[in-house]
């Protein structure tokens, strides 16, 4: 079943309200439907890896700036 983006946004608001610990407990307990469970796992991945992703983006911009400066 296809889930609308509005429903996904509502789920993410609910996940942020619950917090990562409660979302993890519910994922482990399989207390949600399959679509919501998959979105909860995505939420937990972003919660765990957001600083790594941000660091990679900043490093990529740094490399791009250095490359553009080198080619100048």
Q: What is the pLDDT of residues 17-59, one digit of tens each?
A: 999 999 999 999 888 889 999 999 999 999 999 999 999 999 9
Q: Predicted confidence band at 1 (pLDDT cuts at 50, 70, 90)?
A: low
Helix then strand then coil, in percent of the chain rounded to 5, is 85, 0, 15
Residues 6+ apart with CB under 8 A from 18: 26
pTM of the predicted protein model? 0.78
For residue 39, how many other CB atoms are within 10 A of its CB? 19
Contact 7, 38 (CB under 8 A): no
Contact 59, 65 (CB under 8 A): no
Contact 47, 16 (CB under 8 A): no
């Amino acid at each position: 079943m296809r889930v609308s983006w509005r429903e996904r946004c509502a789920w993410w608001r609910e996940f942020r309200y619950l917090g990562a610990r409660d979302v993890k407990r519910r994922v482990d307990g399989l207390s949600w439907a399959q679509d919501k469970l998959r979105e909860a796992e995505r939420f937990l991945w972003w919660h765990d890896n957001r600083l790594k992703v941000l660091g990679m983006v900043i490093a990529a911009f740094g490399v791009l700036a250095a490359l553009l400066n080198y080619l100048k």
